[in-house]
Structure 1
Amino acid sequence: MAPQESPQAQVAETAPGTKAPSVRSEVGALRTVLLHRPGTEVERITPSNMDQLLFDELLWVEHAQLEHDAFAKVLGGLGVEVLYVEELLAEVVADPEVARAVVERHVTDRTCGPQAVERVRDLLLDTEPRQLVEHLIGGVTVEEVGPGDGLVTAVSGPSEMLLQALPNAVFTRDSSAWIGEGVVLSPMNRLVRRRETDLLRTVYSHHPRFAEHPIWFGGEVTDYFPATFEGGDLLVVGDRGLAVGMSERTSPAGVEALATALFDAGVVDRVLAVDLPKVRAAMHLDTIVTQVDVDAFITYPTMTASLRSYAVTPRPGGGIHVAERQGFVQGLAWAAGLDHARAIEPALGSVRAEREQWNDANNTLAVSPGVVVAYERNVATNEILETAGVTVHTIPSYELPRGRGGPRCMSCPVQRDPLGT
């Protein structure tokens, strides 16, 4: 199903018994969230390819799955409906036409070489939907396809990938983000992650739960993304406002393109663009700041104290206006439509602060105002949050943090209650 021509079109109701997607804050009561349980794709990470796949360490897969299951259980216990990307995608590719279209987009001359294309496509299309999805996310090896002509298979070992795995798919926040009653799809910065976005595009375009809801940005299929942004840099801080990080993975051109599209669609009217250090430890905005209450943000002051930020607003008649703002937290308050905001700044010793920030201490997921999910290993930061009046639900965190992402990174909110309800 093609993206809607006009993002101003009426948003349809979802299936009976479910609420329509809507996200107008970071902290409104979370009702529905989209996760991906790590699987075969994480087993494909090896010491020789982990840099290419954006991992710093190897994960103990079975333990990572248990931790992820615990995450989902905590969310379910707090009244959140948990959806899984892999299950939704399997429902969609049960339609043979959709399955063929996806496979033809993902398996091309450029992914596995001209001689192997048809063999890889045949392998995928001859499987049942769940197995097809496992391959689309987990990849396809030379051994799985079997011998055949072509240079690629001639020089590749049996475990080498003809279709690359997507181990970062566990971080569902990055590839898409719901803003208002529609969704934006991320033109990802790293080549190894771009197929993730197309899989989400397939779900949102074809699954009956989402297909009638607008795609504000990224509805088209394209191979070239000179202007990029990723969902970890997008914070829906208020009903009409966003904070967007300009990081090593989100470019100023990407922020400007996104802001313009959202302004044109009438979705938001305030965007705070935050110039982040271009370093691994500040990969996305949500690694150094997340919202934990209506007026409160947890920040990493070592980095946030010196950030430059810019107020981006629409000009009457078209275009945008940009003005530098003084004070990062004051800028967050402006974007959120608040008179003021408070920063919860962990006053830890430099070594402990750096250790906990590296383990995503600030990457919390709010499930309602003043209630968050966080990694249990970040003991000091969690205590500081609780001292500030925030209720912290912790989840096991031996293996999942090795992927460099916390509870917020691993979740894509689909429906939150409006604040004040």
Structure 2
Amino acid sequence: MSNLYVGSEIGQLRRVLVHRPRRALTHLTPSNCHDLLFDDVLAVEDAGKEHDIFVNTLKSQGVEVLLLTDLLADTLGVAEAKEWLLSTQISKYRFGETFANDVRCFLSDLPNLELAKILTGGLTFGEMPMKSSSMLQSMYGPNDFIIEPLPNHLFTRDTSCWVYGGVSINPMAKTARQRETNHLRAIYRWHPTFAGQDFIKYYGDEEKNYDRSTIEGGDVLVIGRGAVLIGLSERTTAQGVEQLASSLFKHNQAKQVIAIELPKDRSCMHLDTVMTHMREDTFSVYPNVIPNDANCWSLTGDESGKVVTKQQDSYIHTIEKALHVDKLNMITTGGDSFEAEREQWNDANNVLTVSPGVVVGYERNTYTNEKYDKAGITVLPIPSDELGRGRGGARCMSCPIERDGI
């Protein structure tokens, strides 16, 4: 079996993919950050230092850390990958034949690392030295983007997610993030770490219009024992969940998918912003968003790919049955109602479990961290003065590609 395998949310984390953004953050301004799905602009150097602390914390727990920019640069070293990425990311439909060709000529001459940084970090008209005969160049100003930056690549959790013996390469809901998916398609197809390895691509590997069948990894919790918990959020639809569930059953990789409905709201963009798995019987939860009577369904199926859906009375009982535990311990966000709301907004629930009962979380969430500590959960604190402004915590910023089961 390939060691590209994620068997749970809580088993020992062995390998993880993260992204340390720099160029994309330098292109983030108060006038464009909302279009790019950021609530604020970040201090670039400080965000980088905080990310380094995050990476070093993971390494101190024996986790091998892969950096997206490096993987992308290596992938661009494969001629076929480079040609495919430049033609999909700089397509004639996006820019017109003439300008697309000129931009591709300029980019293809750059060193692979520089090209990887531009593909993830953006390129303005002023930064391209070539003169094009296309009408486009004279219609835009020097600060307009040819290639929009992708600051949300920081959240590697969403673009692809490993579930047991395979990966879902996720069609993203928002235009500002859809180009991210092609970077992951190229890496999983051509990078030496993945090319020729024995793993399943469940969903999303083809370039086509997925219409409303969107899914993002922040909503997908691989809770173990053949079960997967998925949030129906602002970004992950019932249609997307059915597609992934069907493929999991077809490949005999999961026995059950549990879907839970979330409010379609920015403050709880993904399931993992309001609920994460910390130990076999322990979850963090923000009850204001996930009440005990939240709508919940159980999806099962077989190798024909057919999905059978049944509504359940209680998501907690459904998870208890799937995990074979008598009673779940739900640790709610700490403090009074004001403090809890603030800490949820600052990703108190969005912790990354590195081994059972050991999690990485933002140090600023003191009330919630204290509750974790009292419940016997060890919190490895990381700073978030800048990183936290992107509205994502340690789980959002990590895509496990190798992790033990339970």
TM range (shorter): over 0.9
Q: Which residue of 1 aligns with 2:351?
A: 364
Deviation at 1:335, TM superposition (A): 3.7
- Corresponding residue for residue 303 of structure 1: 289
The range that moved more, 223-232 or 265-274, is: 223-232
CA RMSD of aligned residues (A): 1.5
1:164 alignment counterpart: 148
Q: 3-state DSSP class of the match of 1:229?
A: coil
**Separation in 2, partners of 1:268, 1:169:** 28
Q: Distance between the aligned counterparts of 1:118 and 1:366, measured in 2?
A: 45
Q: Secondary structure at the match of 1:189?
A: coil
Equivalent-residue separation in structure 1 for 2:152 and 2:134 (angstroms): 29
Aligned counterparts of 2:88 and 2:214: Cα–Cα separation in 1: 20
2-structure distance, mates of 1:38, 1:334? 40
Matches within 5 A, 1:387-406: 387-406=374-393
CA contact (8 A) 1:241 1:337 kept: no
> 2:113: which partner in 1?
130
Equivalence for 2:258: 272
In the alignment, the residues of structure 2 paired with residue 55 and residue 373 of structure 1 have an alpha-carbon distance, to the nearest angstrom, of 22
Q: Does 1:148 align with 2:132?
A: yes
In structure 1, distance between residues paired with 2:280 and 2:8 = 9
CA shift at 1:223, angstroms? 4.4
357-366 vs 151-160, greater mean Cα deviation: 151-160
**Alpha-carbon contact 1:33-1:82 (below 8 Å) kept:** yes
Aligned pairs for 1:185-200 (under 5 A) are 185-200=169-184
Question: What percent of counterpart residues are identical?
Answer: 42
| Residue type at the aligned position of 2:59 | G
Q: CA deviation at 1:135?
A: 1.1
Secondary structure of 2:394 counterpart: coil
Equivalent runs, 1:324-343 vs 2, <5 Å: 324-343=311-330
Q: Is the 8 A contact 2:250 2:302 kept in 1?
A: no
Alpha-carbon distance in structure 1 between the residues aligned to 2:324 and 2:255 = 10
Task: Give the secondary-structure state (helix, strand or coil) at the position aligned to 1:242.
Answer: strand
Cα deviation, 1:183-218, whole Å, max 9, x if unaligned, reads: 111010011111111111111111222122221211
CA separation of 1:224 and 1:315: change in aligned 2, threshold 3 A: closer
Name the amino acid aligned to 1:121.
Answer: R
Matched, 1:294 2:277: no
Query: Which runs of 5 or more structure 1 residues have no equivalent in the other structure?
Result: 1-10, 14-19
2:207 is matched with: 221
Query: Is 315-324 or 70-79 further displaced after alignment?
Result: 315-324
Contact 2:17–2:398 under 8 Å retained in 1 = yes
Deviates more, 1:315-324 or 1:241-250: 315-324
Q: Look up the equivalent residue of 2:99 and give its one-letter code.
A: A
- Any idea what the Cα deviations from partners look like across 1:52-84, whole Å, max 9, x if unmatched? 100111111111000000000000011111011
Q: How does 1:33-72 map to 2 (within 5 A)?
A: 33-72=16-55
Provide the C-alpha distance between the structure 2 equivalents of 1:279 and 1:335, rounded to a whole number of angstroms.
28
Q: Which amino acid aligns with 1:232?
A: G
Paired residues, what number? 402
TM-score using structure 2 length? 0.96
Cα-to-partner distance string for 1:293-313 (whole Å, 9 max, x where unaligned): 011100001111142111111
TM-score, normalising length: structure 1? 0.92
Deviation of the 1:383 alpha carbon: 0.5
Offset, 1:222: 2.1
Q: Which is worse superposed, 289-298 or 347-356?
A: 347-356
